Amino acid sequence: MTWQPHITVATIVEDNGKFLMVEELKGGRAVLNQPAGHLDPHETLTEAAVRETLEETGWDVEATGIVGIYLYTAPSNGVTYQRVCFIANALKHHPDYQLDDGILRARWLTRDELMGLRDAWRSELIIRCIDDYLAGQRHSLELIRPSL
């Protein structure tokens, strides 16, 4: 079997100390995650982050930077994910937007509220990305080079 990491994107969207989160079904239970998902063919990482945020939350966003690049191996299935975590500004909400299958709702939560919901985290990447963002980790979108 060939080992291959899965390329994913996630988005940190913060407004007055609250973070845009997604409540979704995973394995039959509701879990919390940043708006996140897989890179689709023929799109850039930035395009994927903007698309996933809209599809999972109904929010148009503008990517402004990168928090970091993370590797995570899920203990449930042994799959390794490479996550590029973006920073984005919320632009416009579409309250009637049809969210992706499995998405229950978007929620705005503070870090403290998230800490109180630790059992509902999809993974530890949630708080790692938020803490890196709060610590001032900011990288230019130019960090990602265009395809040749």
- Tens of pLDDT, residue by residue over 85-116, are 999 999 999 999 999 999 999 999 999 999 99
User: Which residue(s) pair with 29 in the sheet?
Assistant: 26
Does the pTM surpass 0.85? The reply is yes
Q: Which residue type occupies 29?
A: R
Listed residue (134, 8, 111) closest to 69, CA to CA: 8
Q: What is the DSSP letter of 121?
A: B
